[in-house]
Structure 1
Amino acid sequence: MKKRLLSVLLLSTLVVTCLAMNPDHAGDVVPLQKGIFDNRMADVQSRSGDQALWSHVIEVPGAKFVKLYFENYHLMAGDMLEIRDASGIVRQRIMSSGPAGAAEFWSLTIPGETVILQITSATDYIKRYAFSITKAFKGTMAFFALPEPTESDCGGLPQASPYRSAWCYSPGEQFENAAMWQNAQATVGVLTIGSYGGGTWCSGSLVSSQNYVITNQHCIETISDCANTEFVFNYYRTTCEENIGGEDPVVTQGYYCDSTDSNTYFNNSFGSCTSTGLDDLDYAFCHVLLNGPDPAPSTVYTPLEMELDHQAIVDTEDIYIVGHPQGNARVISEGILDFTGDYSLHYICDTRGGSSGSPVYSRATNRMIGLHHCGGCTSSSDRNRGMFITQIRADIDSHGNFFAPAPQLVFESITHSDQVGGNDDGYFDPGETIHVTAVISNAGNLASTEGSLVVSSTSPSVSIPVSSFTISALDPHVEANSTTVEFEYSLDSFMECGAAFDINLALSYDGKVASANSEFHTGHLANPGSPIDETAADLPLPITDNNTTVSYITVDTGTDVVGTVNEVQVDITHTYIGDLTVTLTSPGGVAATLHNRTGGTTDDLHVIYGDGTGGTTTPVQSLDMLTGQVASGTWSLTVNDGAGGDTGELTNWRLNFTPVELQCGSTLPAFTIGSVQAVYGDSITVSLTMEQDLANFGFDVLYDPGKIKYTGFSPGASAGCTNATVTLESPGVIHVVANCPSQIMAGQLFGDLNFDVTGLTGETPISAANLVLDLQSKIYGQGILSLPETVDLCTVPEAYYYNMLWSPYFNDPDVDVDKDGVFTILDFISRMNCPL
């Protein structure tokens, strides 16, 4: 049974990610109004007790529902982000570094076009960054009415009863049935928002106390699809009605699909609705991500446990199906089993698009006998169809025991902080030491034995001093019995600003592995500039059969990167645009497909691609994939003609984007530098005393080799950093790297830079009272910071220079002030008149 595209707004805070076969368009990924949303909480807007409250409202005009994309998400310990809809209902709560420590992720679904963000904080967030929101998914209703011919109602056949809201079977209602009501509570919606910009809707069931959900494989095809799926629990109406529409007053509960779980299994779907064997049972067995403040679903809803019905299945026996047809609130349809095949059940019982993955129950035993997957009810040779649950259960059992009590260790929260080992700006910068706090608890229903936690990174620029930890045995569902692991990792000071790195946690226990893998980037995007608008100058260019045409635009924005691609205008004359694929490629090689062989026989392509507003057209792939990419260099527009018989011409294309700065906070320690006085020929020392606690940093000292000469570095006795390396890269450049085993504390001496003042030699007069020694510290990837140091030099009147030599003191090193090998009036005046 094919998936029905999401047709109603899902009110949920539980999300599981799964991708559908041939997904239909459900909405668009759009940039936010300012392109980049950085929530620098410079002022606490209100307070409640000891907690500081910060809030912000985001509007996505015209959206039926919204999902926000978070990047570099890392709250401090004890802090929480609440996401509310326009009515104030909390739709999601997020702690630490996001679901399973994923610092980049989509939020759960928020109904309507208004999203309210609120942070409850243990401390004031003054001048601290917590995350960036770079784009939103704008859900639409256009996909609601798309036909699904392979899933169908039964055309009024008398064996099929009308749809009834599940509430009709609850205590005190007209069709009260305790077993049917309990089974209905285990049914979930399966909402997928894929990276392609579309959405699909299926049904599923919670079938294990170990928190596994089953649905069709054609709803969740792969483990990577799971990363974009939402499981929606508690989605029902509180009125008894014989239809599938109506408003839903119940606040639903959503969870993410756990793409990190190694015990997720898929059994292939098949192109037609006729199974050919046990290798195409069309099921996906997925774990629910247990993370954050929400309870495990098995502690709230009674799982089915896929208990097998040992009674023989007979034709014409009564059955019922619980699901979410067309993405609506939970309904139950009743009917009969018409006949069985070798691998599937055939029944007269209403289904629609969105019913895929629904459980099929025996009315007599209230046990699950099938997994609905295909339609065609009015065809007497086919009917609506589902796979035998006995065959699915046997296949799942071959992989392990998922239906008995078991421990389930989860990461309650994972917090990454640069508060102590960095500059405390909430972003990760080169040279910082990041402190991580991971809280682990047992969400299962059986005590765990002793386990282990291993921390790793595939990034060569990340060092983890202590990476292995023992995890004590944990009782189930005991919050006070959670365990906390703290560790640190350091970022090399030579990392480029904007570089990606990962931190991976593997929790091993009782033969299982729970993972939390996070990817971060150093720095952040800030300070949008004026939009850049450039038009190609190498046009027109011919478009010939089965050939590729490329046009170029060169842009210079300095070190800025792409914030938002606002518009890409494309003008092509062609007699069959269904032959064409049009792609925009950034200077760094990241490509976004704008047009992909749609339009059929239509002539010509005159389009302005953008976010779908203001007369622009949404491209095949979102232009947001270019955010953060290198802006300066050569952009290209590639037009590929994939067939013969029609030709044309690329007549014009234009690029408009907003550049932003890629910024990294300074990891250079603030230094206190002592004052220096000298005359030419003297030695001077520049002492660098720490003004903050840091362990890892790197910088270059730039000086004028024509005025002073570097003679060496003396490490500070109290710094505790004996492995700092200070090298003379070239005359005028001193390279400093400090990777210390522990922090150098504020007030401690990092070390002394030593110089000789050798700028004026021979008989050249000193004509200025002061020489400014400008020590410039170049942070890797960040530009230059200056540490000016004034060297006071004596004034020597130029007239004295021409007087006689003082022969009695000739070549006396004690009085040869300027070290030129001779004693002159210059030396005498300097010695006598300088206040040294």
Structure 2
Amino acid sequence: MRLLRTAALAALLVLACAPAAVAAPAGPGAMDTGAPTVDDTGFAGTAAGEERPTDLTLDAKQTRVVISHPGAPYVKVHFHALRLAPGDHVTVADPTGREVHTYSADPTLGAAGPADSSYTIHRTRGFGAMSVDGDTAVVTLHLASGGSFSGARIDRFWRGFTASEIAARSVGTNAVCGTEGRRDVVCYRTSHPTEFARAGAVARLLRNGSGFCTAWRVGRTNRALTNNHCVSTAAAVASMEMQFEYQCATCGGNNPGAGVKVSGAQLLRTSAALDYTLFSVNNFATVERFGTLLLDVRAAVSGERIYIPGHGDATAKRLSIFDAAQNGPYCTVANPSTGVNIAYNCDTSGGNSGSPVLAASSHRVIALHHLGSCPNNNQGVKINLIYPEISSLIDNTA
């Protein structure tokens, strides 16, 4: 599925501190002519959004633009060029200022400041700012120098699909079988404190601005795991961001915070056969506090209890602890060996790809979730098959 759209920009509003510049549909010369670095044709995760062209300039006369798509759950801005004098900087923020991403130089030129935000790479020129939650991104040029030599050009942005749009585009590789058994992770803070704590290491993954999966920290160092069918190349890693602590503050409250976002750094190892990708992230120190997960390197046992934290349907983080009704039967392993997979009775959905499947006996990961169907159970790749391929790259000590 190729998510690049060439249609004229709809619902783009441009406001400014100086007289407003009206954004017209992007003309032939407005787009970066460099080729995309990420191929979306084979992406098998959950469709998250679409890329939209635009042509906006910030300078001393026009220091603020607002990019909006009504109803979008996120907006992600791409800078074609960024030229800033010392002391100047650009911010990309939501209207309330809850999320603010700062750039003091073009990071692709190796000139970023130590306090600058993470960024993503999508084309042969320019960079993507980290996404902001909600349907509006405010881009502001802050001029300490007077602005004679500073400016920026925005050539595109990504807007997130609504929940109904995501459902309509879901590839259907993960399934809720029968009654929905998942709940917000915070619902289990008191009743299942260890399961709640382990879920902290799990993040929502936004790939190339337009695809959702789940990823999680593994081991004691800067390492994370997801599916190969979500991220399989170095270019895809450079295009992605992980959003930690994207979870509701109250049980059933539909009130997730923005969390903390970091970008992908280095592809370390990947396998299509075992459907995993191991990678590192930028600004690792900012997400270390969310904890990590260790691997349970053994064969699963039929009937043993498991649980799965993840971002099914690209929503705030939820936990699958019970098979269906709350306080009913727990999630269990239904079949410990279906080829390279184990099968289990535990609800997942599109966006859960890459979620950890944890053994309740050890609270360690026993499988990497990657597919499912009803009534044949959802399935994850056996960790004891993945571990030998990545053991030299991670620290799995207790």
- 1:193 aligns with 208
Identity %: 25
Bigger mean CA deviation after superposition, 246-255 or 200-209:
246-255
Please list, as runs of the form range in 1=range in 2, the aligned pairs for 1:234-253 lying within 5 A after superposition: 234-241=245-252, 247-253=254-260
Instruction: Say whether residues 1:86 and 2:108 are aligned partners.
Output: no
Instruction: Say whether residues 1:114 and 2:136 are aligned partners.
Output: yes
CA distance in structure 1 between the aligned counterparts of 2:256 and 2:315, rounded to whole angstroms:
12
State the shift of 1:201 in Å: 1.1
Letter in 1 for 2:184: S
Letter in 2 for 1:144: I
CA distance in structure 2 between the aligned counterparts of 1:107 and 1:130, rounded to whole angstroms:
16
- 1:150 aligns with 173
Contact 2:218 2:394 in 1 (8 A): no
- 1:140 aligns with 161
- 1:29 aligns with 51
- 1:338 aligns with 334
State the shift of 1:107 in Å: 1.8
CA distance in structure 2 between the aligned counterparts of 1:18 and 1:83, rounded to whole angstroms:
26
State the shift of 1:324 in Å: 0.6
Tell me the SS of whatever aligns to 2:274: coil
- 1:391 aligns with 385
Letter in 1 for 2:242: F
Contact 2:64 2:141 in 1 (8 A): no
Alignment equivalent of 1:104, drawn from 100, 105, 126: 126
- 1:656 aligns with none
Letter in 2 for 1:88: G
Contact 2:46 2:213 in 1 (8 A): no
State the shift of 1:155 in Å: 1.3
CA distance in structure 1 between the aligned counterparts of 2:317 and 2:307, rounded to whole angstroms:
13
- 1:222 aligns with 233
Please list, as runs of the form range in 1=range in 2, the aligned pairs for 1:149-298 lying within 5 A after superposition: 149-156=172-179, 162-170=181-189, 173=190, 175-177=191-193, 179-193=194-208, 199-241=210-252, 247-258=254-265, 261=266, 264-268=268-272, 280-290=273-283, 295-298=285-288
CA distance in structure 2 between the aligned counterparts of 1:76 and 1:41, rounded to whole angstroms:
12
CA distance in structure 2 between the aligned counterparts of 1:152 and 1:24, rounded to whole angstroms:
13
CA distance in structure 2 between the aligned counterparts of 1:316 and 1:109, rounded to whole angstroms:
41
Instruction: Say whether residues 1:319 and 2:319 are aligned partners.
Output: no
Please list, as runs of the form range in 1=range in 2, the aligned pairs for 1:564-603 lying within 5 A after superposition: none
Contact 1:18 1:230 in 2 (8 A): no
State the shift of 1:355 in Å: 0.7
Tell me the SS of whatever aligns to 1:86: coil
Letter in 1 for 2:233: T
Q: Which structure: greater strand fraction?
A: 1
Cα offsets for 1:348-367 (capped at 9, x unmatched) = 11111111100001112111
**CA-based RMSD:** 2.7
Tell me the SS of whatever aligns to 1:257: strand
Cα offsets for 1:149-194 (capped at 9, x unmatched) = 43111214xxxx8112111222xx3x241x2122100001111236
CA distance in structure 2 between the aligned counterparts of 1:302 and 1:18, rounded to whole angstroms:
32
CA distance in structure 2 between the aligned counterparts of 1:232 and 1:252, rounded to whole angstroms:
6
CA distance in structure 2 between the aligned counterparts of 1:115 and 1:191, rounded to whole angstroms:
17
State the shift of 1:284 in Å: 0.9
Tell me the SS of whatever aligns to 1:118: strand
CA distance in structure 1 between the aligned counterparts of 2:61 and 2:176, rounded to whole angstroms:
56
Please list, as runs of the form range in 1=range in 2, the aligned pairs for 1:329-408 lying within 5 A after superposition: 329-334=316-321, 335-341=331-337, 342-379=339-376, 383-397=377-391, 400-403=392-395
Label 1:139 to 1:209 Cα distance change in 2 as closer, same or farther (>3 A): same
Label 1:115 to 1:207 Cα distance change in 2 as closer, same or farther (>3 A): same
Of structures 1 and 2, the larger Rg is shown by 1
CA distance in structure 1 between the aligned counterparts of 2:234 and 2:300, rounded to whole angstroms:
33
Letter in 2 for 1:256: S
CA distance in structure 1 between the aligned counterparts of 2:151 and 2:219, rounded to whole angstroms:
36
CA distance in structure 1 between the aligned counterparts of 2:247 and 2:361, rounded to whole angstroms:
24
- 2:116 aligns with none
Contact 2:175 2:372 in 1 (8 A): yes
Tell me the SS of whatever aligns to 1:70: strand
- 1:124 aligns with 145
Letter in 2 for 1:139: G
Contact 2:94 2:133 in 1 (8 A): yes
Contact 1:206 1:213 in 2 (8 A): yes
Instruction: Say whether residues 1:66 and 2:79 are aligned partners.
Output: no
Please list, as runs of the form range in 1=range in 2, the aligned pairs for 1:476-487 lying within 5 A after superposition: none
Contact 2:47 2:166 in 1 (8 A): no
Letter in 2 for 1:387: V
Please list, as runs of the form range in 1=range in 2, the aligned pairs for 1:371-450 lying within 5 A after superposition: 371-379=368-376, 383-397=377-391, 400-403=392-395
Q: Which runs of 5+ in 1 are unaligned?
A: 1-16, 44-54, 269-279, 406-836
Higher relative contact order (CA 8 A, sep 6+): 2
State the shift of 1:333 in Å: 0.5
Contact 2:295 2:383 in 1 (8 A): no
Alignment equivalent of 2:315, drawn from 315, 328, 335: 328
Label 1:117 to 1:322 Cα distance change in 2 as closer, same or farther (>3 A): same
State the shift of 1:385 in Å: 0.5
- 2:64 aligns with 56
Q: TM-score, normalised by structure 1?
A: 0.37
Q: Which runs of 5+ in 2 are unaligned?
A: 1-37, 111-120, 322-330
Label 1:302 to 1:282 Cα distance change in 2 as closer, same or farther (>3 A): same
Contact 1:42 1:125 in 2 (8 A): no
State the shift of 1:119 in Å: 4.5
Alignment equivalent of 2:295, drawn from 298, 304, 307: 307
